Amino acid sequence: MKIKVHNVATAAGVALAMLFATPTHSEILLQDSFESGNMSATNSEGFRWSRNNRTSIVTEEAAVYNNGEIYNPPPHSPDWTAKHGDHSLRFRYPAGQPMSEQRFSLGGSYKEIWFRYWIRVPDNYNHPSSSPSNNKFFAVWMDEYSSKGDGPTAFWNLISAGSGDSTIAYSYSEGSYSVAGPQSQLKQFISVPEDRGRWMQVVIHVRASTRSDRSDGVIELWRRWENESKFTKYHEDTSARLPIPGGGPQGWSAGYIMGWANAAYREDTEWLLDQFTVSTTSLLDGGESAAPEGALPNPPELNVN
């Protein structure tokens, strides 16, 4: 930002005002690229990763963290190169085993929340066509998960499209301890073999209904591959019934990444995730270096005459 002024005192005043202005990226609640080598990332609201459930932090050469333990697993064949830095979060699905999941608590509760992260398609990705074929991809909820909650849950699933390919769809529970509705807006998402080993950046957005009797909640998802500069929208629902539960919390409070694979993989299959970001406002800028909550903005560039 360039500001051209003709008085040094004015310039100093402008600089001071800019320095103490509202932080440019104050909407960012959390960013975690796992460079700490552990699951300790938090913020002023108390964000917390749950225990690793067949997940671990890895470098290019080794797995370095799993529930506080440092260990050396058997030799691996997948590429563990992180998208940013040296560390990423690995989701390991052993052959025939249906579970690898990373849960989190947002600490606070939010009527509107955005998520953005990079995730790498496994080198040997092949979506089995067994029935049911929906494999969990992401979920976020208010008080409790799915039919256990008085509040709603939004889900995304990868669903077999045949020949090892996957579509993606969303569904949601309206709350009141109800199960999720039908899979909606199925879109082609992963094609094999061409998408194996590729990093994609995903943006997910959910907003609660304005009142308990209104169907004006929002569920959206975008994706871009690492060689793309723009996001493609895959899901848009602006008439979902997503009421805040009467007993609280006052919005979205927890979720998970990946999860149960109804169509278990026939081979050991590993996903990598990097640069997980949470915000209360749009994350569609694709920026890689937004400052965390409370960071000061860069000082203005001044041309003083």
Q: Give pLDDT, residue 79.
A: 81
Residue 39: partners with Cβ closer than 8 Å, 6 or more residues away: 49, 52, 57, 65
Residues 270 and 233 in one domain: yes
Q: Give pLDDT, residue 125.
A: 98
Q: Give pLDDT, residue 285.
A: 86
Residues 89 and 144 in one domain: yes
Residues 44 and 102 in one domain: yes
Q: Which of 30, 100, 31, 54 is nearest to 257 (CA)?
A: 100
Residues 16 and 55 in one domain: no
Q: Give pLDDT, residue 139.
A: 98
Residues 155 and 31 in one domain: yes
Residues 215 and 264 in one domain: yes
Q: Give pLDDT, residue 74.
A: 56
Residues 33 and 138 in one domain: yes
- List the structure tokens of 141: 């909820």
Residues 18 and 34 in one domain: no
Q: Give pLDDT, residue 6.
A: 39
Residues 42 and 84 in one domain: yes
Q: Which of 68, 122, 47 is nearest to 273 (CA)?
A: 122
CATH value at residue 73: 2.60.120.200
Total tally of structural domains belonging to the chain? 2
Query: Tens place of pLDDT for every residue, the chain, 305 residues?
Result: 433 333 434 344 433 333 333 333 448 999 999 999 999 999 999 999 999 999 999 999 889 999 976 555 555 556 899 999 999 999 999 999 999 999 999 999 999 999 999 999 999 999 999 999 999 999 999 999 999 999 999 999 999 999 999 999 999 999 999 999 999 999 999 999 999 999 999 999 999 999 999 999 999 999 999 999 999 999 999 999 999 999 999 999 999 999 999 999 999 999 999 999 999 999 998 655 443 333 333 333 333 33
Residues 235 and 305 in one domain: no
Parent domain of 232: 26-289
Residues 301 and 236 in one domain: no
Q: Give pLDDT, residue 31.
A: 97
Query: What is the 3 state secondary structure string of the chain?
Result: CEEEECCHHHHHHHHHHHHCCCCCCCCEEEEECCCCCCCCCCCCCCCEECCCECEEEECCCCEEEECCECCCCCCCCCCCCCCCCCCEEEEEECCCCCCCEEEEEEEEEECEEEEEEEEECCCCCCECCCCCCCEEEEEEECCCCHHHCCCCEEEEEEEEEECEEEEEEEEEECCCCCCCCCCEEEEEEECCCCCCCCEEEEEEEEECCCCCCCCCEEEEEEEEECCCCCCEEEEEEEEECCCCCCCCCCCEEEEEEECCECCCCCCCEEEEEEEEEEECCCCCCCCCCCCCCCCCCCCCEEEEC
Q: Give pLDDT, residue 294.
A: 32
Q: Give pLDDT, residue 302.
A: 35
Q: Which of 152, 181, 187, 151 is nearest to 169 (CA)?
A: 187
Q: Give pLDDT, residue 299.
A: 37
Residues 13 and 44 in one domain: no
